[in-house]
Every structure is written in C-alpha cells, then in structure tokens.
Amino acid sequence: MTPVLEVRNLSTHFMTRRGVLKAVDDVSFTVGQREIVGLVGESGSGKSITGFSILGLVDPPGRVVNGQILFNGGDLLKMSPTAMRTIRGKRIAMIFQDPMMTLNPVLSVGTQMIETVQAHDRVSRAEARARSRDALGLVGIPSPEERLDSYPHQFSGGMRQRVAIAIALLHRPDLIIADEPTTALDVTIQSQILFEIKRLAAEFGMALIWISHDLGVVAALADRIMVMYAGRIVEAGQVDGVLSEPRHPYTSGLLSAVPAAVPRGEPLRPIPGFAPSPLSRPSGCAFRDRCARATDICATEPMLEIAAGREFRCFHPHLWSAA
Amino acid sequence: MTVFVIRRFLQSTAVLAVTAVIVFIGIYAIGDPAEMLISPDASQAERAQVVASLGLDKPLWEQFFTFAWNALHGDLGRSFVFNRPSIALIFERLPATLELTLTGLVFALVLGIPLGLLSGLKPDSATDEVIMTGSIFGFSLPSFWQGMMLIMIFSVWLGWLPSTGRGQVGEFLGVHSSLFTLDGLKHLILPAINLSLFKLSLVIRLTRTGVRETMPLDFVKFARAKGVSEKRIVFVHVFKNILIPLITVIGLELGSMLAFAVVTETIFAWPGIGKLLIDSIMRLDRPVVVAYLLVIVSLFIFINFVVDVLYSMVDPRVRLGGAQ
C-alpha cells in the first residue's frame, strides 16, 4: 500500500539576523494510510515546524530549504500557491494547539465553517451550512443548527477544539495534522477529545500526525512514534516497542521523566541540562552534552540505523535482550 | 438595547447640564460684553439701559438660572451682536461645517484604509516606506501651514481651485450643500483635504498597525490551513478585526474634526461654525458661545452613541446594556 505522505530529507531553516536557525534538519518519515503517527519532542525540537512545512505554512523568515514532501505521490513543495491552497483544508487538514486562538473572534462559527466548504466546493450557502451542521453534530456538539450562529467566545475551550476538529473533517481529508490539540485543555476534556479524534479517524479512514510533547497521550493513541530532538528525528518505530525498549538515550531519558511511567516512590530523573540553542547546535549528535553514554565518537554525525522496524541515530544505543 | 438607550440618554442629559454650568461660568469670567457692545461715547443712562436689556446687571446665579430656564424651553438666548436666536445662527452655519468634515472624513477613510492595508501587508517594502514617510508629514506639519501651502500650490501657482468661500450651493432632496454643484465641489476640495490630512495619516497608521498585529495571529494561519483564499483572509478575517480600533478612534476624531475645523475654516474663509465661534469669542457674544458648545457636546454624545452601536455590530463580544 502506498503511503499517504512521504517526507524525504526535509529541512526548514529560519534566516534570522543572528544566523541560520535549523528548525527542521534533514527529516524523513512516512505516514501510511489510516496510520496514526505520534511526533514527540520538547518545545523547540521542530515538531510543529515539521507540521507547518507539510502544509506550506511556514512564516517568514522561515523557509523549506531542502527535501521532498510526497503527498499521494505528488511533491507538495513543487506546487504553485494556488494548487497548494486546493490541498490545504481539502486533502490535508490541520488542528492547532490553542482553541482559544484558532477561531476568528468576530466571525460566527457558521461563517468560518461555510467558508471552508465553499473554499473548495462550488456549493450553495444552504448546502454548505447543512454540511457544517452535520460536521458539528459529528464531533458531539449539541444542537448544532443553533450553534452555527454562535460566536467563538460563546464556546468553552473544549467545545472550540471540537469546532476546529469539525472544520478539519468537513472535506474528509486523507491526512490530519494535529498540533498538540489537547495541550491547552483540561485533563478530562483531553481524554474526550482524544477518544473523539481516534474514533473519527478510524471511521473516515484518515491518517493522523499527532504532534505532542506528552508521551502518555501518544502511547494511548498512536500506532507509530517518532521522537524529535533539535530538529532531527532521533528514534522512530512502533509505539509499544519504542516506549518499552527505547534505543536512543534521549527517548529513555524522556521516559524516565514521565511521572506515570516511573514506579511509585522512585524519583523522577529529569534529563540534565537544556536542549542546545537551535542557532548554535554542536556538530555530531546534538544530545551528546546531556548524554551519560556519550563518547568522543559522538562528535561525528551518527548515521540512521534501521533494525527490526526501528530507526535511531545513536552510536551507543541501549541494548535489549530481544535486539 | 432599550435599557442601553435610556441609560445613555440620562447620562447625556447630565453631561449637558454640567457642560452648561462650566461653560456659562467660564465665559462669564472672560470679560464684560458691555464693553464691546456699547460705543465708548454712549451716555451713562444709555449704557445702563443696554446692560439691563441684556440682563447683564443681574448676579451670576440669576443670569444662569434665567438661561437654564429658557434653555429647558428650547431657547438658548439671542446673540448680543446679531440680535437673533443663537441656535438659529449655529444651525445656519452647521451644514457648511458638516459637509466639510464629512467630506474630509470620507477622504481620510477611502484613501487611508487601502494605503494602510498596502503598507501593513508588505511591511518594510519600498511602498511601505513611502507611505509611512508620507504619513509622518501628515502628522507633523501644522495644519495651518499645510492649508497655506495648498492655497499657494493649487490656487496661486496652478490656478486650478478657488481658495476662499463655499461657492455655489445646490439642492438635492431638500438638502442644501455645495456637494451638488461643480462650483461648490471645487471650493470644497482644498479645505476638505486640509482638514483630512492629519486624519488620513492617523487612519493609515491605525490600519497598518492593525494588519501587522492581526496577520501573525493563529486564526489567520488556521484560515490559511483551511484553504481560504488570501483575499478573503485580508478583507474578511483581518479587516473585520481592524475595524474595531478604527471605529473607536474615528468616532473620537470625527468629534474633534467638527469642533476644531476652526483652523481650516479660518484659512479658507469657510462659513462654518468654527469661524462663527472664533468671531463670537472675540466679541464676547456669550449666548452664541454657550449654544455652540452645547451643540458640539450633543454631537459628541451622538457620535459616541453611534460608535457604541457600530461596535456591537462589528464585535460580537460586545453586547450593549451590560447585564444580560
């Protein structure tokens, strides 16, 4: 089966006054049909910029400087802005992090949904409205007909995120990129939204890229997981494998810093130090200054190792009995 | 809404009453109009008679209560100089000022909003630099100097446009205005431009700032992610958000344009209320000054009311009346 999305050697750099900021550096991955992929990493690791790069929504001074983004076989980076617009919202949709900010405060929810329908399909306003209403119903918003005339400030955060999801679903896209869609919500609402998205993705056969810094959320949702650090994917593989037997020291470091994953009574072990400034990344492995296993060889670029469906970039990976 | 209107009406009445007191006492303190009105060689008896006929011999509080009582009956007093009802004098001149300020405002908006959008959408481009530099001139060059330069260039050197007066007044649907004749329009152009240059710069800057603040917001990016066209993003998503600060400032500025059209009216000898005010202050024509200020305050109150209503139409988060 051909993958929905294939990203090859993607590099997105920001040309700032203080130098070139390599937000995304030589990132490659694929997303299969109906697959849910979790993209995890700390703030500033480049995971959101990866998402925006796919949609061609990187704001200046940022620019995709290299790579290919093959979507259903066609390279999105070679497309004209007009052609790209017909993909955005239609074939690839995106859900943003902060539902308080993603809806325009002065336009009614109906207006913002109808314009999405009419941006891609030549249909009457009445039909666009009917489709919007159905989408609202689908994501569990009560009395959707009346809610179309409401404004964003009349919704709670969770409800607004449901509206954003409904907008993403309007055209039944092949791929949804969800950029930390539950981070800004209460825990109880988080799990509802999570459940809702998982159900809808399965129902409509959509692939999903779930960007998050929350390993627990990704563990509950994703089929595959990719761990990003300093603009690169340092480890990728099936969720169960990566979380139970991480190969890259950064992944294991992340896991021992998650409260729920550490047995009760044992101290959390935060990763020492800070992520390097993206303006002055050390050569070689960017994690080596914080890594207990680092040796001199880590000053050179680690190659991508592929073993048993697992990819990682490390000279000194953890070894597990099975490996 | 009804509650809002009633409350606003009561507040306005209070504001008018307070203004009346302040203005009346203020103008009383400036000087004695009898000195200006009565010729120096008039006899003591003639003098006393004039002073009594104008009610100037009474104490301040009595003068005020006579004024207030009459004002409540719709009579704002007679002009000392013209011996006609002061309110009639003002309403005679008001259309000329209204037509001048409204033309100036339309000019500022029609030119300012597109220029501001242009500037804000392409920040730091050559176009932006030119527009911003131009707006600095509009801000910083004094209005009277701009007026004189306009006269010098367009009336004296080029001889294209007349420099003084209101020109021929036409009638359309019962409204008299110089907008309806070619001669009137010619006379209107220079003073309207003079009055609007400052506001134009203000509108440009407000619009530009609004665009610059709104474009990086998440909802603009989200609209792009939905595949909405850039045109719709600018003219619907961004523009409707910019309207909020624009309406606020324009509302306030319209009031000040009306009240301070004085400079422009003086330069271009425009027969509006600004000129009437200056003349009346010089002659200590108390009833006209008081009536003028009360009319201006009423206009301010009315404009603010309109602004609040427009607000609630543009911004759904604003609901008139407060309590729901």
Q: Which residue has the tokens 């790069």?
A: A53
Closest among A172, A177, A212 to A69, alpha carbons compared: A177
Pairing of strands A5-16, A62-71: antiparallel
Banded model confidence at residue A323, pLDDT cuts 50, 70, 90:
very low
Q: Which helix (H) or strand (E) holds A141?
A: none
Residue B189 CB neighbours (<10 A): 16
Quick check: A104 and B225 CB within 8 A? no
User: Does the CB of A148 have a partner CB in chain B at under 8 Å?
Assistant: no
Q: Tell me, what amino acid is at B166?
A: R
pLDDT tens profile A63-120: 888 888 988 888 888 888 888 898 998 899 999 888 888 999 989 999 999 999 998 9
Using CA atoms, how far apart are residues A44 and A21, in angstroms rounded to an integer? 11
Sequence-distant (6+) residues with CB within 8 A of B145 are none
Please, are residues A66 and A9 in contact by the beta-carbon 8 Å criterion? yes
Q: What integer pLDDT is reported at residue A3 of this predicted model? A: 86
Strand order from edge to edge, sheet including A232-238? A92-95, A175-179, A207-212, A36-40, A224-229, A232-238, A310-313, A304-307
Average confidence score pLDDT of chain B = 82
Q: Which residue has the tokens 């506001």?
A: B199
Average pLDDT over residues B233-248: 90
- Closest chain B residue to A154, measured at CA: B317
- Closest chain B residue to A176, measured at CA: B225
Average pLDDT over residues A36-46: 87
Using CA atoms, how far apart are residues A127 and A134, in angstroms rounded to an integer? 11
Average pLDDT over residues B18-39: 76
Quick check: B222 and A116 CB within 8 A? no
Omega before A61 within 30 of 0, i.e. cis: yes
Q: Tell me, what amino acid is at A97?
A: Q
Using CA atoms, how far apart are residues A51 and A23, in angstroms rounded to an integer? 12
Q: Give A113→chain B minimum CA distance, Å.
A: 9
Q: Give B212→chain A minimum CA distance, Å.
A: 13
Closest among A223, A160, A224 to A189, alpha carbons compared: A160
**Orientation angle between helical segments B239-259 and B86-121, nearest 10 degrees:** 150
Residue B217 CB neighbours (<10 A): 17
Closest among A272, A321, A282 to A302, alpha carbons compared: A282
Partners of residue A167 in chain B, C-beta under 8 Å: 226
User: Does the CB of B178 have a partner CB in chain A at under 8 Å?
Assistant: no
Q: Is the pLDDT of residue A261 over 70?
A: no
Percent residues over pLDDT 70 in chain A? 98
Q: Which two tokens stand for residue B249?
A: 């400032």
What is the DSSP annotation of A1-28? ---SEEEEEEEEEEEETTEEEEEEEEEE
Q: Which two tokens stand for residue A124?
A: 């009457």
Partners of residue A51 in chain B, C-beta under 8 Å: none
DSSP secondary structure code for residue A278 in this structure = T
Q: Give A118→chain B minimum CA distance, Å.
A: 9
Using CA atoms, how far apart are residues B274 and B260, in angstroms rounded to an integer? 7
Quick check: B241 and A106 CB within 8 A? yes
- Closest chain A residue to B314, measured at CA: A106
Q: What integer pLDDT is reported at residue B175 of this predicted model? A: 66
Please, are residues A230 and A281 in contact by the beta-carbon 8 Å criterion? yes
Percent residues over pLDDT 90 in chain B? 11
Quick check: A88 and B216 CB within 8 A? no
Q: Give B84→chain A minimum CA distance, Å.
A: 51
User: Does the CB of B224 have a partner CB in chain A at under 8 Å?
Assistant: yes
Average confidence score pLDDT of chain A = 85
Q: Give B215→chain A minimum CA distance, Å.
A: 10
- Give all domains of chain B, ordered by start, each with its CATH number: 91-284 (1.10.3720.10)
Q: What integer pLDDT is reported at residue A132 of this predicted model? A: 92
DSSP secondary structure code for residue B153 in this structure = I
Cα separations (Å) of A33 from A3, A110, A194, A211, B97? 6, 31, 19, 17, 69
Quick check: B316 and A105 CB within 8 A? yes
What is the DSSP annotation of B216-255? TSHHHHHHHHTT--HHHIIIIIIHHHHHHHHHHHHHHHHH
Q: Which two tokens stand for residue A254?
A: 């992340």
Please, are residues B239 and A103 in contact by the beta-carbon 8 Å criterion? no
Average pLDDT over residues A134-141: 87
Banded model confidence at residue B323, pLDDT cuts 50, 70, 90:
very low
Quick check: B221 and A116 CB within 8 A? no
DSSP secondary structure code for residue A302 in this structure = P
Using CA atoms, how far apart are residues A207 and A32, in angstroms rounded to an integer? 7
* Chain centre to alpha carbon of residue A263: 29
Q: What integer pLDDT is reported at residue B112 of this predicted model? A: 92
Quick check: B228 and A119 CB within 8 A? yes
Quick check: B226 and A86 CB within 8 A? no
Using CA atoms, how far apart are residues B108 and B198, in angstroms rounded to an integer? 8
Partners of residue B217 in chain A, C-beta under 8 Å: 101
* Chain centre to alpha carbon of residue A276: 21
Q: Is the pLDDT of residue B173 over 80?
A: no
In chain A, residues 16-55 whose CB comes closer than 8 Å to chain B: 55
Using CA atoms, how far apart are residues A34 and A201, in angstroms rounded to an integer? 7
User: Does the CB of A93 have a partner CB in chain B at under 8 Å?
Assistant: yes
Sequence-distant (6+) residues with CB within 8 A of B139 are B198, B201, B202
Q: Which two tokens stand for residue A190?
A: 């988080």
Q: What integer pLDDT is reported at residue B66 of this predicted model? A: 80
Q: What integer pLDDT is reported at residue B324 of this predicted model? A: 40
Stronger pLDDT, A285 or B322, i.e. the higher one: A285
- Closest chain A residue to B311, measured at CA: A106
User: Does the CB of A58 have a partner CB in chain B at under 8 Å?
Assistant: no
Strand order from edge to edge, sheet including A5-16? A19-31, A5-16, A62-71, A74-75
Closest among A111, A282, A86 to B316, alpha carbons compared: A111
Name which of B217, B224, B315 is nearest A101 (Cβ-Cβ): B217
Q: What integer pLDDT is reported at residue B187 of this predicted model? A: 82
pLDDT tens profile B174-232: 666 777 677 777 788 888 888 888 889 999 999 999 999 999 888 999 999 998 888 99
Quick check: B225 and A94 CB within 8 A? yes
Q: Give B139→chain A minimum CA distance, Å.
A: 31
Banded model confidence at residue B46, pLDDT cuts 50, 70, 90:
confident
Please, are residues A141 and A150 in contact by the beta-carbon 8 Å criterion? no
Q: Is the pLDDT of residue B298 over 80?
A: yes
Quick check: A103 and B219 CB within 8 A? yes
Name which of B224, B228, B241 is nearest A57 (Cβ-Cβ): B224
Percent residues over pLDDT 70 in chain B? 93
Partners of residue B229 in chain A, C-beta under 8 Å: 85, 119
Q: Is the pLDDT of residue B321 over 70?
A: no
Quick check: B228 and A57 CB within 8 A? no
Partners of residue A116 in chain B, C-beta under 8 Å: 226-228
User: Does the CB of A151 have a partner CB in chain B at under 8 Å?
Assistant: yes
Size of interface A-B (CB pairs under 8 A): 77
Please, are residues A230 and A45 in contact by the beta-carbon 8 Å criterion? yes
